[in-house]
Structure 1
C-alpha cells in the first residue's frame, strides 16, 4: 500500500462541553443529545467511505461518536494513547477567574515553547505526544487498513497533528477544532510523511440544529 488515508475526528458534544466543565482524561462523560445528533450527521455524510478500521480512545464519548459505524460491523480498537490530556486538578471543575488565569498561564507557557510544563497533577503536551507515538505506530503498522477513522479529543488532536506534520508543539493551537470536526491526513508509506488534506471541517454538521 503506497499510502494510508487517516480521518481524525473530535468527539461529539457532551454536557460538560456545553457547561464549560473541564473533562480531560479523568472525566468519562457521555455524549448529550446534540453530540448524538452530530455523530449521526457525520455518519450520514461519511457512511460511504469504506473504513477498514476504527480507532478510539478509551473514553466513552469517542466510542459513542463512531458507534453508528461500529454497528455496521466495521472492526474497532480502543487505544489509551489517544486519550485526552490529563488536566489534573482542574478536571470536573467549572472554570472561574482563577481557573482562567491558570489555563492562560499554561497556554502562554506552551506557546512560548515550554511544552514540558505539565498541568498540576496532570500531563504536559510532551507527555501526551510520548504516549501517542506508540499508538500511531500501531495504527500505521497495519498495512491493509486504509482508510481508517480515528476518534479522539481536542487538545490531544492538536498535539497529534503538530508532531505528525513536523510542527513544534508550541504551535499546536494553530490547529483549530470544534466538536465533531474532521481532519484528514494522507500517510505516504514510502517516505513516512503526512500531508494535510482537510482541516477542521464541519460542513457535515450544517443540518444539525445548534440551539
Structure 2
C-alpha cells in the first residue's frame, strides 16, 4: 500500500512504522468519511481504549507499589480520560491527518476533543494489531511520558474535589455560571465562574464548558489552599 507523505510524517511523530499501513488509515478515518469500501475507526477505538487501560494500569502499579485501589483509580482515570487522549493527539498533531467528511471538516472536526481522543485510542489499537502489545505499550509510555510520573497523588477531578471541600465545611455544592461565550459555533470559547456560597469564586476560560468548569474549580481550590 502506497503511503501518503503526511501519513509517513505522522508515523514518525507517533514513533511506529506500520507493516500494515491500512490499519493506520482506518484508525484515522472518522465515521463521517466511512463508506462501503472504507471502514471507520469506531471498532479500533473500542479496542484501543482497552489497550491503553492495561498499559496505564501496569504503569501505575509499577510506579507506586504501596498505593491502594482507592488511590490508583483516580490516577488511572486522569490518564485515560478523553481529555488526556486528546492532549496527546495534539502533541503529535493527529488532527492534521484525520480523514473527515465535509460537514465534520467544516465544523472544526480536526480540533474537536472527542474526535481527537477517539482517534488516539484507535491509533493505539492499530499499533497493537500491527505489531503486538509490547509495541503498543512502548508507544503509549513514550507519548504519555511525563504525565504518568506527574499524575497527582489524589487525581480526582477538580469539580469533585471542590465539592468535597465545600461539603466538609457544611457548605452547599459549588455553583458554575457561564460568564461569556465567544468564537464561531464550531470553535466556541467559554468563560466560567466557579462560586461558593461563602463568597469565594474563580474564573477560567477554555474551549468547552466542561474544561472551563474544571479549570475554574482548580483555580478556586488553589486559591483556597493558598489562603489556608
The question of a shared fold, defined as TM-score above 0.5 by the shorter chain, is answered with no
**Between structures 1 and 2, the one with greater helix share:** 2
TM-score (norm 2): 0.24
Which of the pair has more CA radius of gyration?
2
